[in-house]
Every structure is written in structure tokens, then in C-alpha cells.
Amino acid sequence: MTKAEIEIIKNVENDIRELFSGEFSGHDVLHTLRVVKNARMLNADNAGDDFIVTLSALLHDADDRKLFPETAENNGNARKILEKYCVSKENTDRIIDIINSVSFSSGKIPCSIEGKIVQDADRLDAIGAVGIARCFSFGGNHSRPVYEEGDFSGEGSGDSSIAHFYNKLLKLEGLMNTAKGREEAEKRTAFLKNYLEHFKEETDITSLLDLYI
């Protein structure tokens, strides 16, 4: 990257820190910075445009519908920041396209290698040790129960944090775009499965049924 591009990235990071101040649902600035770290790690194996990858990772949640519903439709926050630092229209369009194709809920597979990298980077932060912490943080922030009795048998409502493991987190390994992403996701998913085994064991109350026999 050029010195000018690095300066833009530093400035955008400062704006992102301000934008996410006071956010505690697991989509905070530290999540963003981890996604940037993941994206740059993945890009080392894929030779995408480092400037586009880094800026897209920094801005990937800037207009997340859960956090900024008022700007989600037109990517208002991301566009404002990119315009502020005179990022070209061509690069702005590339970045906005990536941002709009990253999320799990969108169901999209990005067309560009840069988009695939950022999507993998975001998904990696949803699994493994940090993914578990974020899952429960998000659940608490949205008044979701930690778990429900039917979660391990498929009989639960699907609204608990543990249900989220089955509804989304355990599926991410099979949705990765890059070889390095799949490799890292495999390790993190193994950690999730191990955690769930311990959680299931520690919360098993079936023996209480003996009291009623």
C-alpha cells in the first residue's frame, strides 16, 4: 500500500472507533479490528487488493441493520467516511459492494476475491473462543436465554444463545470461501463442538426424572 492509502486507513479506523463507542453487543470496534486482522491474514494467501480488503473489513459493520437501521439502506455511514477521505468512486463502489455481500443473513457469496476474504474474516470471528464470547454477549444484550431444555434435542424454540450454535455457528465452516479460511474455521469449529459437549454434560438434568418415578 502507498503512504496515502495507509493514512486513509488510519483515519477510517479512528472514525470507526468513534462510530462504535458504547456498543456492547459483540459488534464493537474490537470485533471490527479482529476482522481486519483476519482479513489481512487471509489476503496474504490470496493476493487481493490489500487497500480494498482492509477498508472493507474496517467498514463491514458501519451500516449493519441491527446497529444502524437508519443508514442500512444506503450505506450512509460507510459512504460518508469514504467521501470524507476522498476515496475514489471506483474504490467506493467496490467497497460498498463487498459490505453488502458479507453478512450471513444476506445469503450472498461475494463475486470478488476481496469480498470472499472479508466474508471469511467476519465469519471466523463468529466461531472459536471469541465467537462463543460474542454469542453470549449478543444474547444477553437482546434478552435471549442462555439455553432452553430442548436445545440439544431439536425441540427448543431456537431463540437461545445455545440454539444459535446450531442455527448458524456450526454451519459456517462449510460456507468458507478460501482455503486458509476453511483451515482456520475447522480448528475453531472443533473448539465449538468441544465446548458444546461440556455444556451439554454440565446442564444435563435428566437424572432429576428419577425423583418422580
3-state SS track over the chain:
CCHHHHHHHHHHHHHHHHHCCCCCCCCCHHHHHHHHHHHHHHHCCCCCCHHHHHHHHHHCCCCCCCCCCCCCCCCHHHHHHHHHCCCCHHHHHHHHHHHHHHCCCCCCCCCCHHHHHHHHHHHHCCCHHHHHHHHHHHHHHCCCCCCCCCCCCCCCCCCCHHHHHHHCHHHHHHHCCCHHHHHHHHHHHHHHHHHHHHHHHHHCCHHHHHHHC
| Same-domain pairing of 23 and 97 | yes
Range of the domain at 58: 1-105
Confidence grade of residue 135 (pLDDT, cut at 50, 70, 90): very high
> What confidence category does residue 8 fall into, taking pLDDT thresholds of 50, 70 and 90?
very high
Residues 78-131: tens digit of each pLDDT: 999 999 999 999 999 999 999 999 988 778 899 999 999 999 999 999 999 999
pTM: 0.92
Asked if 66 and 161 sit in the same domain, the reply is: no
Q: Assess if residue 33 is contained within a domain.
A: yes
- Kindly state whether residues 2 and 92 are assigned to the same domain: yes
CATH of the domain at 157: 1.20.58.1910
- pLDDT for res 141: 86
Flag whether pLDDT at 155 surpasses 60.
no
**Number of domains comprising the chain:** 2
The pLDDT tens digits of the residues spanning 9-23 come to: 999 999 999 999 988
Residue 71 has pLDDT above 90, yes or no: yes
Considering the domain architecture, whether residues 3 and 100 belong to the same structural domain is answered as: yes
For residue 100, give the CATH number of its domain.
1.10.472.50
Residues 20 and 93 in one domain: yes
Residues 57 and 21 reside in one and the same domain: yes
Tell me if 132 is assigned to some domain. Answer: yes
| 30 and 70 assigned to the same domain | yes
- pLDDT band for position 142 (50/70/90)? confident
Check pLDDT > 90 for residue 25.
no
Q: pLDDT of 40-55, one tens digit each?
A: 999 999 989 999 999 9
Same structural domain for residues 191 and 162?
A: yes
Q: What is the percent of the chain with per-residue pLDDT over 70, rounded to a whole number?
A: 94
